[in-house]
Amino acid sequence: MPTYKQTVVSYPNPTKRFLFVHIPRTAGRFLEENIEENGFEPEQVIWKSVDGIEVAHFHNELYQKHFDDLFNIPHFTVVRNPIDRFFSCSIFLKRMYGDDIQEAMEDPMMFHSMLENFPLTQAVNWFRPQVDFLTDDTNIWKFEDGFGDDFCEWLSDVVGFDFTLTERKPDTSRSLEYLDDDHQSKKLDRSAKLVNNITGLYRKDIEQLYPELATPFEEGT
């Protein structure tokens, strides 16, 4: 998640800057492309690995450590239903561990062990809880609310310029195919056991961002 600055600045207007907090599997690449189409460029080499993590996917501890002048610029991000986000990212688990990992991922101990020891170390943040990317300064949009006119109006208000999207239809646009990967065979199965493990892993995401996903308390249980 880089900071961005304008590529062309008209005098006497100051250079506009903002921080895009890119949480993996939340339409980040689509937004990065559109941010550049709006005349902005990243101030960091976003696919470089620093402290073992890709700059593009820094969580709050790392971007506050390595990025300068964050206090007076807008911050924004997109969050996603944590269960949907996990299954979208599960294609990478199968790539790293093999196709026959469903039963192992349904076991609570193996589930946590396989995530903690994910072979591609710089990609650990792909499975990090989303709340770890946020601060009190982060403006939040939900993936489920789409990327239409409402999103453009919201982001324009956040960053202080007229933001437009050149591509609006995730179901048809080539550059958006990764958002809703239709290769279901490449993902883990959405079994009750695995969903239970995911829910436990992302408890804080659910509490703070998606409380509607919390299991209702049932008297006597």
Check whether 21 has a pLDDT greater than 80.
Answer: yes
177 pLDDT band (50/70/90 cuts)? very low
Q: Which of 76-80, 100-104, 162-166, 193-197 has the lowest mean pLDDT?
A: 162-166
**pTM of this prediction?**
0.87
CA distance 18 to 74: 5
In 3D space, the residue among 137, 114, 157 whose CA is nearest the CA of residue 60 turns out to be 137
- pLDDT at residue 216, rounded to an integer: 58
Per-residue model confidence (pLDDT) at position 184: 56
Q: And the tokens for 55?
A: 């700059």
Show the tokens assigned to 141.
Answer: 């949009």
Query: For the chain, what is the mean pLDDT?
Result: 87
Tens digit of each residue's pLDDT (9 = 90 or more) over 80-127: 999 999 999 999 999 999 999 999 999 999 999 999 998 887 678 999
Q: What is the pLDDT of residue 68?
A: 84
Gyration radius of the chain's alpha carbons: 18
